[in-house]
Structure 1
Amino acid sequence: MATSARLGPLLAQFDFAYERLRDRLTGPVMDSGNGTPIKTGPLTDEEYLWEPVAGCWSVRPRAGGPGPRATRLLGGGDWGRDSAAGEHPWPPPFTTIAWRMTHLSEMLALRAEYTVGGRSLTFDDCPVGTDAASAVAILTSAAQAWRGALLAADDAALDRVGHCTYPYGGDAEEPFVEVVWWVNQELLHHGAEIALLRDLHRDRGPAVG
């Protein structure tokens, strides 16, 4: 199967968005947006789990149970990501870097699984990083898996409804090219949020109270 030439712009966008986020998380330099490299250090454990406001959703040890307004912890292993069965609470809880990275990793890994894999894994099969380094490694593996799924797509696959059968969205009712577009915007969206949280952590003021 030959990779579709039509995929080129979307694949380039994915690569740029992922590489920019990866460099923002790992350093030693990141893309400033205007072509000037900026020095940055790797994400720290403190940043990874930082809760800038009360009532954050995050990742946490399963033994302690879910966080505020959460009803369950998703993920495999001793840690899980805050979630809720059925409708999530409103207004939505503010989420940590850890929560957002885990959400991205799950999305990429599971969509790859339901495109070119066995189509059987669930959120509870996905590992959850307990610290910054393990979370970056999990995200890297998930991004590589999704990129592999993209490279396996030919023109027919791009147009095929249900080429991806990811069960936690409308993927099975959509042409694969629309799924690819959606994943890119999720990566751009959450990548920007993670970058902003790193900036806010760096420039946070002294604790009050």
Structure 2
Amino acid sequence: MAVPGRLEPLLEQYDFACLRLVQRLGGPFVDSGNGLEIPVPPLTDAEFLWEPVPGAWSVRPRAAAALGTAALGTGATVLVGAGEWGRETAPVHPVPPPFTTLAWRLGHLAEMLALRAEYTVGGHRLTRDDHVNPGDAVGAVAAFEAGARAWREALLAVADDATLDKVGHSTYPNGSDAEERFLDVVWWVNQEVLHHGAEIALLRDLYREWAGRPDVPS
């Protein structure tokens, strides 16, 4: 099935953003932007869970929630998701927003992509409480890749311009999708992957510099 003309450049951008992020997380190389291949070490669990500042929001074991909010990031009140780990959040986010770890940002992307696909071409049943947040780097990258594939399949299911202009084609409950044209939702998802991908890349650079300091325990 042919991709509608207005969707084609956004799909190409989405594919590039996802590929760039996966390469930035697992290597073995990433294009520097001028054709040079820059070596990229695979993401480790220590880097995945690194908290550059006190009070950061992250993904944490369920046992942390059992200890109360003092064991969570600043302003966090709950761990969302299924399984042994949850992603920190609160009914009302603090202002200014809390700093979020690489684990939090990657988990947010995986959840957002998977659930948006669910509420576009899926059963419209799953919620954040059904989404599994892995507590390890390999599992988290795999979850992102699965979510990215699911959303791509939702995009490939778009048959015509009428669907792109349809308000509420996606009914994802954690956004304004039900009031938006689907084309605008597609644009929004792209910018989510692009800007969180850039944040994750910067966190990788910062961790490399921090971990290489002589005063940091090995």
Matched residue, 1:134: 139
Matched residue, 2:44: 44
The CA distance in 1 between the partners of 2:214 and 2:119, in whole Å, is 46
Contact 1:2 1:153 in 2 (8 A): no
Match of residue 87, structure 2, among 75, 81, 87:
81
Matched residue, 1:171: 177
User: How do 1:1-209 residues align onto structure 2 when only pairs under 5 Å count?
Assistant: 2-65=2-65, 67-68=72-73, 69-85=75-91, 87-154=92-159, 155-204=161-210, 205-207=213-215
CA-to-aligned-CA distance 1:13-48 (integer Å, 9 cap, x gap):
000000000000111001212221111111111110
Runs of 4+ in 1 over 4 A off after TM superposition: none
Structure 1 counterpart of 2:119, which letter?
Y
Aligned length: 207
1:3 Cα deviation (Å)? 2.9
Contact 1:2 1:152 in 2 (8 A): no
Structure 2 counterpart of 1:199, which letter?
D
Q: SS of the counterpart of 1:17?
A: helix
The CA distance in 1 between the partners of 2:56 and 2:215, in whole Å, is 17
Contact 1:157 1:163 in 2 (8 A): yes
Q: CA RMSD in A?
A: 1.3
Structure 1 counterpart of 2:55, which letter?
G
Q: SS of the counterpart of 1:43?
A: coil
TM-score, normalised by the number of residues in structure 2: 0.92
Percent of counterpart pairs with the same letter? 64
Structure 2 counterpart of 1:32, which letter?
S
Structure 2 counterpart of 1:151, which letter?
L
Q: SS of the counterpart of 1:54?
A: coil
1:207 Cα deviation (Å)? 4.6
Contact 1:113 1:121 in 2 (8 A): yes
Q: SS of the counterpart of 2:164?
A: helix
Query: Which has the larger displacement, 60-69 or 163-172?
Result: 60-69
Q: Which consecutive residues of structure 1, in runs of 5 or more, have no partner in the other structure?
A: none
1:90 Cα deviation (Å)? 1.5
Q: Which consecutive residues of structure 2, in runs of 5 or more, have no partner in the other structure?
A: none
